[in-house]
Structure 1
Amino acid sequence: MSAPQSLLLIIALIAASAFFSLAEMSLAASRRIRLRQLAADGDPRAPRVVQMQEQPGDYFTVVQIAQNGVAIMGGIVGEGAFSPFITNLLSHWFAASTAQTLGFLCSFLLVTSLFILFADIVPKRMGMADPEKQAMRVYGLMQFFMTVLKPLVWLYSKSSDAIFRLLGMNALRDERITSDDILAMAEASTQAGGLAQSEQRVIANLFDLDSRLVTSAMTSRDRIAFFLQNDTDALIRARIAEEPYSTYPVCDRDIDHVIGYVDAKDLFQRALNNQAISLKTDDLIHKVLVIPDRLSLTETLDQFRQAQEDFAVVVNEYSLVVGVVTLNDVMSTVMGDLIGPDDEELIVQRDTNSWLIDGITPIEDVVHALTIDEFPHFEDYDTLAGFLMVMLRRIPRRTDSVNWGGYKFEVMDVDSYRIDQVLVTRIQPQGEDKTSSLSAPSAPTH
């Protein structure tokens, strides 16, 4: 075979190998969701590629048969195509035996480099760049090769299936998409500019509902506006004007004896009709949903759905009221940064290295805002105030501080043992990030 013929044959073998490399990578990298979307848009090739992905054994067997055959042929033809020419060229400077050895090595390196570059790297990068489109393009020709090579495909497929059974391995790809997969795709889409940062946060918040307790979204006990059953008309009207909410718990004697709730719409209707407002009768009071404080937000949503309510009272193991929660509270947790500007902000970023955070802020929100991997004793508290109490092992006082994860948490204001504001400042971590230190004001002298 002449040198030009050998060169043409090598080019043909490289093209064949490139085709099968492209076919292999494009099918492996194709996204099932994207293919189904293309099928819904009317592309008839997309369902065939999806079906091929479900049972790819014969497809990849053809690819391996072809690639190995082409590699062997390339080695045989390549050595004969370039070795004599390179040997003759090198014989002007080296002895015949040395020139022959160097000619063989140069020919081998040249052919190998051509195959690596044009038959492997380039087509595989093409297949990864737009896998669904390339997979649909090569499907028809791959189906032809699968038919032509069917006897060999059957033999190798059965042999590989037997080996998989012998090793106790599953030969089928697991197509289940987990929550971690969805979060990873959302993060990748955000980095590529396909999703806004706030939209990615909403997706992450949805999956956090199962791990966040209802206490992280509720209105705490000290902030509940409620009525006693024997409150007068004047007192009820004054409370509505002072603390306008959509729903008010109704209690007997104190807040820990909740007997129901009253809807503000019913109160407004009576006020507009100049009717006296009294809670001593049951016509205004609705049965209240009571839930334990250990429920997750997902379980809370289930309770709302089953009871067909959007308001619940949260109690602890001692049947004491610890807060109230509404459907809007849960949805605000999901929406995160997308909530309206009129909503109260518990976390206010002052600059790139400092934040002013309310003590009742759920610790999960602090984790997201500060991008801290974890807090110590995470299961022992629900809020930033709880974190400070656990770390200090006492009720915090003004100017008390805790250093954790490269941040300083300093108590700025305390009102009747309640931590109102905490100043969080980014500091240069010393040693490991997850170290902590405590500081407190010195005891007064007498």
Structure 2
Amino acid sequence: MQLPESIFVILLLIALSAFFSLAELSLAASRRLRLRQLAVDGDMRADRILKLQEAPGDYFTVVQVGQNAVAILGGIVGEGALTPTLSRLFALWTSSSNAQTLGFVCSFLVITSLFILFADLFPKRLGMAEPERWAVRVLVPMLWCMRLFKPVVWLYAKTADLIFKLLGIDTVRDERITSDDILAMTEAGARAGLLAASEQQVIANVFELDSRTVASAMTQRDRIAFFLQDDPDTVVRARIAEEPFSTYPVCDGDIDHVIGYVDAKDLFQRVLNNQTLSLKDDQLVHKVLIVPDRLTLAEVLDQFRQVHEDFAVIVNEYSLVVGVVTLNDVMSTVMGDLVGPDDEEQIVRRDENSWLIDGVTPIEDVLRALDLDELPHDEEYETLAGFLMVMLRRVPRRTDSVNFGGYKFEVLDVDSYRIDQVMVSRLKDAGGGTPSPAAPSET
């Protein structure tokens, strides 16, 4: 075979090897969501690729047979074509034996480099960039190859299946998409600028509903506006004017004996009609939903759906009321900064290195604001105030502080043993924020 013919054959073999490399990687890297969308849009090839991904054994067997056969042929043809020519060239400057050796080495390096660059690296990077596009393009030729090499494929496939069976390895691809997979995709989309950071945070908040307890979104006991069943009309009207809310619990004697709730709309309607506001009226007081404080937000949403309510009273294991929660509270947790009014912000960033945080702020929000992975003993508390109590092992007092993770948590204001405000400052010697051992301090 003459040199031009050999070079043509080598280029043809490189092209074949590149085709098999592209076919292999494009099938493996194709995203099922994209393929399903292509199938919905009418591309039947995408549907066939989805089926191949479920059982890719024959497909990859053809790829490996093709790649190895082409590589062997490329070595044979390349050595026979280039070695004599290069040996004659080197013979002009060195002995015949040395020229033969140099010719073989250079021939090997040239052929190997060509195959690495154009039959491996280039097609695989191409396949990674747009896997679905190339997967549908190479599908038909690969189906012909699968038919052509069917006997060989059957032999190798059965042998490989036997080996996997002996080793106890499962060859079925797990296509389940977890919440971690979805969050990873949305984070990648946010980094690429395809998804707004606030939108990505909303998606992350949705998945947190299964892990965040209702206590992280409720209105605390000391902030609940409620009526006693015996409150006269004047007291009810004054309370509405002083503390305007959409819903008010109605209690018998004290807040721990809730008998129902009243809707502000019903109260306003009676006021407009010049009717007396009596909380002993069964038509005005509705049955209230009572939920335990250990429920997750997802479970609370499910309870709202089952009873067709959007308001619930939360009790602890001693049947004491610890708070109330509304459907709007849960949705505000999901929507985050998109709907939160500025005057109700629980975390206020003062400058680059300090934050002013309400003591009842859910610990998940604190971690997110400070870019921390976790706080110690996080299973023992729900809020920033709880973190300080656990770390100090007592009820915090004003100016008490705890150092952790490169931050100083200092209590600024305490009202009747309730931590109102906490100043969080980045320590100057934090050096990148690696969590350090907790160090409670008192001044």
Q: TM-score, normalised by structure 2?
A: 0.97
SS at match of 2:68: helix
* Aligned-partner residue type, residue 439 of structure 1: S
Q: 1:343 to 1:133 in 2, by over 3 A?
A: farther
1:211 corresponds in structure 2 to: 211
2:440 equivalent among 428, 431, 438: 438
Per-residue Cα deviation, 1:15-57 (whole angstroms, up to 9, x for no partner): 0000010000101000000011111122232112112212211
2:430 corresponds in structure 1 to: 429
In 2, the alpha carbon distance for the partners of 1:434 and 1:364 equals: 19
* Aligned-partner residue type, residue 437 of structure 2: T
- Pairs within 5 Å for 1:336-351: 336-341=336-341, 344-351=344-351
In 2, the alpha carbon distance for the partners of 1:48 and 1:262 equals: 59
Per-residue Cα deviation, 1:385-438 (whole angstroms, up to 9, x for no partner): 111111111121222111111111111111121111111111232695232222
* Aligned-partner residue type, residue 440 of structure 1: E
Asked if 1 retains the 8 angstrom alpha-carbon contact of 2:26 and 2:135, the reply is: yes
In 2, the alpha carbon distance for the partners of 1:94 and 1:333 equals: 80
In 1, the alpha carbon distance for the partners of 2:437 and 2:5 equals: 71
Q: Please say which of residues 38-47 and 23-32 is displaced more in the overlay.
A: 38-47
Pairwise CA distance, 1:340? 4.3
1:278 corresponds in structure 2 to: 278
1:312 corresponds in structure 2 to: 312
In 2, the alpha carbon distance for the partners of 1:35 and 1:296 equals: 35
Q: Does 1:415 align with 2:415?
A: yes
1:301 corresponds in structure 2 to: 301
SS at match of 1:366: helix
Q: Does 1:160 align with 2:165?
A: no
SS at match of 2:234: helix
- Pairs within 5 Å for 1:52-131: 52-131=52-131
Pairwise CA distance, 1:191? 1.0
SS at match of 1:35: helix
Q: Does 1:363 align with 2:363?
A: yes
RMSD after superposition: 1.3
Per-residue Cα deviation, 1:169-217 (whole angstroms, up to 9, x for no partner): 2112111111111111111111111111111111111111111111001
Asked if 1 retains the 8 angstrom alpha-carbon contact of 2:402 and 2:409, the reply is: yes
SS at match of 1:94: coil
In 2, the alpha carbon distance for the partners of 1:104 and 1:266 equals: 95
In 2, the alpha carbon distance for the partners of 1:110 and 1:382 equals: 65
Gaps of 5+ in 1: 442-446
Asked if 1 retains the 8 angstrom alpha-carbon contact of 2:228 and 2:250, the reply is: yes
Per-residue Cα deviation, 1:345-367 (whole angstroms, up to 9, x for no partner): 10111222211111110111111
2:327 corresponds in structure 1 to: 327
1:45 corresponds in structure 2 to: 45
Q: Please say which of residues 43-52 and 324-333 is displaced more in the overlay.
A: 43-52
Per-residue Cα deviation, 1:291-328 (whole angstroms, up to 9, x for no partner): 11111111111111112111111001110000001111
Percent of pairs with identical residues: 71
Pairwise CA distance, 1:342? 5.2
2:376 corresponds in structure 1 to: 376
Per-residue Cα deviation, 1:113-167 (whole angstroms, up to 9, x for no partner): 1000000000000000000000000001111111111111111111111212111
* Aligned-partner residue type, residue 419 of structure 2: I
In 2, the alpha carbon distance for the partners of 1:265 and 1:336 equals: 27
In 1, the alpha carbon distance for the partners of 2:89 and 2:305 equals: 84
Q: Please say which of residues 423-432 and 391-400 is displaced more in the overlay.
A: 423-432
Gaps of 5+ in 2: none
Pairwise CA distance, 1:269? 0.5
Pairwise CA distance, 1:343? 6.2
Pairwise CA distance, 1:92? 2.5
In 1, the alpha carbon distance for the partners of 2:94 and 2:199 equals: 68
Per-residue Cα deviation, 1:253-304 (whole angstroms, up to 9, x for no partner): 1000101111111100000101110112322111111111111111111111
In 1, the alpha carbon distance for the partners of 2:281 and 2:195 equals: 53
* Aligned-partner residue type, residue 58 of structure 2: D
Q: Please say which of residues 90-99 and 321-330 is displaced more in the overlay.
A: 90-99
Asked if 1 retains the 8 angstrom alpha-carbon contact of 2:332 and 2:340, the reply is: no
Per-residue Cα deviation, 1:62-106 (whole angstroms, up to 9, x for no partner): 101100000100110111121112212222222221221121111
Q: Please say which of residues 133-142 and 83-92 is displaced more in the overlay.
A: 83-92
* Aligned-partner residue type, residue 259 of structure 2: I
In 2, the alpha carbon distance for the partners of 1:130 and 1:228 equals: 66
SS at match of 1:435: coil
Pairwise CA distance, 1:380? 0.8
Asked if 1 retains the 8 angstrom alpha-carbon contact of 2:20 and 2:67, the reply is: yes
In 2, the alpha carbon distance for the partners of 1:352 and 1:91 equals: 72
SS at match of 1:387: helix
In 2, the alpha carbon distance for the partners of 1:376 and 1:314 equals: 26
SS at match of 1:286: coil
2:268 corresponds in structure 1 to: 268
SS at match of 2:237: helix
Q: Please say which of residues 361-370 and 87-96 is displaced more in the overlay.
A: 87-96
Q: Does 1:196 align with 2:184?
A: no
In 2, the alpha carbon distance for the partners of 1:103 and 1:97 equals: 10
SS at match of 1:24: helix
Q: TM-score, normalised by structure 1?
A: 0.97
SS at match of 2:138: helix
In 1, the alpha carbon distance for the partners of 2:426 and 2:324 equals: 34
Q: Please say which of residues 12-21 and 301-310 is displaced more in the overlay.
A: 301-310
1:444 corresponds in structure 2 to: none
In 2, the alpha carbon distance for the partners of 1:161 and 1:196 equals: 46
1:252 corresponds in structure 2 to: 252
Report the number of matched residues.
Answer: 441
